[in-house]
Amino acid sequence: MSRRDYAMPFRAPAIPEDHVPERALTVRAAPSVASRGSHSRRHRRNRSEYGGTSYQAQNEFPIFSQTGDVEIIISADGRTERYLLHRLYLAQCSGFFECGTSENWSRGQQLSSLSESSGDTAQKGPPVGAPRVGGNKTIWRYELDPGSQENDIPMLVQKDPNASIFGGNNRSSSTRTKPTNPSGGFLRSVVGNFSAMNLSHGTGYDDPAEDILRDYDNMFRIFYNYPPTLDAVNIANAYVQCKSLLTLADMYDALEVVGPRVDHHMLQFQNLLWKQIAKYPPSYLKLGYLARSKVIFSEAIVHVVGQWPAGATHLRTQLPDSVMEIIEDKVEELEEMKTKIEGRLFRITLLTAKGERVSPHNAYVDWLAVSLFREWLADNTTPPPPPTPRESPRTGERRALPPNPPLNTGKIYRLLGRGGSAYLGHDECKRFLKLRPEEYNSHQLKRFERRLDELKAVAKEIARPLMTNCLALDLGRDGGSLGYLTCTRVEERDFPWET
């Protein structure tokens, strides 16, 4: 069965019969049913026949003493967490464990049942949480290896299972082998190495050891369909925790199972999430890609395309080629739409009462209104010329100046979409006509403004397709304070994990 079948909500598979111990615990009936019609005295279940406390091995997450066959030790900064889980669950949720416990790669060993001569441990009984091994059973053991160098990423490696379960020799039987390359190339430190474009305000993310323990615990909890322990109040903390958890899941090829859980958690923030995505679209684009979140990915890519080429250099170093191709295709589509609309705007004109185009000969004031509109449109949609190199006063050499920042015409089209007094208002019209004082009067000004309003109304209808808001964020009637377009549509075929 493919791991793709275990998309959220994930339902853990049943334990095979050969994993059930010989002495399984008996399931008690509900008290209301078991005691119905009975007047017999109740006996305490936790008292043994010999007056001592009976040992009852734990068989639930995170220690499945009776059925677990994969022991995992997570140690960080002197703190240790131990798990005894099932190979079946781990292999179905993680490609790393599927490969590591396979016949070709596995270091698991066939172990015999505990004999009476095993030493003091067998005589005194296992301690609380200690695994019990009955019959012939394959056991795997993993430990978190911090690595030998400072920049090494902590990761799980296989060890000799005899060293932990039977207290035998403690020699390692493995070498540090990195898992397969994660999809998308997001192999980063579990602690997180966030650039300047990521969240810069306080997040409380300052204990690497605690973060490592939390991330592994959350990943294993998700494997067993338990909710992860993530911040549900502070979205900045939740983002950092989810990003760290997804990076860990990417290392162990478990994004298909962990991603939907992260998506579900982040979407609970609703309006606050949309505002955060508008502030940090590149960061949330990576989060949406890792989590396979169609909503977060779509919301972020609309902002990224609208602000393009801002952040392009950073995105190319952080995102896989498949995502960059989608962004560049969307940018090209938006530019093509803007070019068509811009051509129609420049062809706007006015007609006389006889149906002729206005000109300086038949309607001079009307022609001035058309000229002013076209001049304003050309000035605001044409990139400025490159700066002229200046000569150094000392050496006489010409020094090249930095190029002008790229022009984003989204703000101009938003003004065109508003119309009315959003641009070329009363004062601008008055100053323009006063350039020739001999022809200026109040009657000419009113006629000029009326004809300019006719041009604005036509331009508003032409620019309407660019005013479409494809965000979940409510921008208000006039598009809010965003200075770029948000009309990019993301279709089902645009999600890179669907191809």
Rounded to 10 degrees, the C-alpha dihedral 159/163/169/171 comes to 20
Non-local CB neighbours of 69 within 8 Å, separated by 6+ positions = 19, 86, 87, 108, 137, 138, 139, 140
CB 246 within 8 A of CB 290: yes
pLDDT of residue 129: 35
Backbone torsions φ then ψ of 256, nearest 5 degrees: -65, -25
pLDDT at 480: 64
Bridge partners (DSSP) listed for residue 391 = 398
User: What one-character-per-residue DSSP string does 174-223 give?
Assistant: ----PPPPPGGG----SS----TTS--S------HHHHHHHHHHHHHHHH
What pLDDT digit, counting tens, does each position of 385-417 carry? 777 777 666 666 766 667 777 777 888 999 999
pLDDT of residue 150: 79
Q: What is the reported pTM?
A: 0.74
Transcribe 278-341 into DSSP letters. Answer: HH-HHHHHHHHHHHT-HHHHHHHHHHHHHHTTTTHHHHHHHS-HHHHHHHHHHHHHHHHHHHHH
Query: What's residue 107's pLDDT?
Result: 54
- Orientation of helix 271-279 relative to helix 281-291, angle to 10°: 120
Which pLDDT does position 68 carry in this prediction?
92
Q: What is the pLDDT of residue 478?
A: 61
The parts of the chain modelled with pLDDT lower than 70 are 1-57, 106-138, 162-206, 391-396, 398-401, 477-480, 499
Amino acid at 275: K
Q: What is the pLDDT of residue 288?
A: 96
Sign, CA dihedral 230-236-239-242, equals negative
pLDDT in tens, 287-324: 999 999 999 999 999 999 999 988 888 899 989 999 99
Beta bridge partners of 81: 74
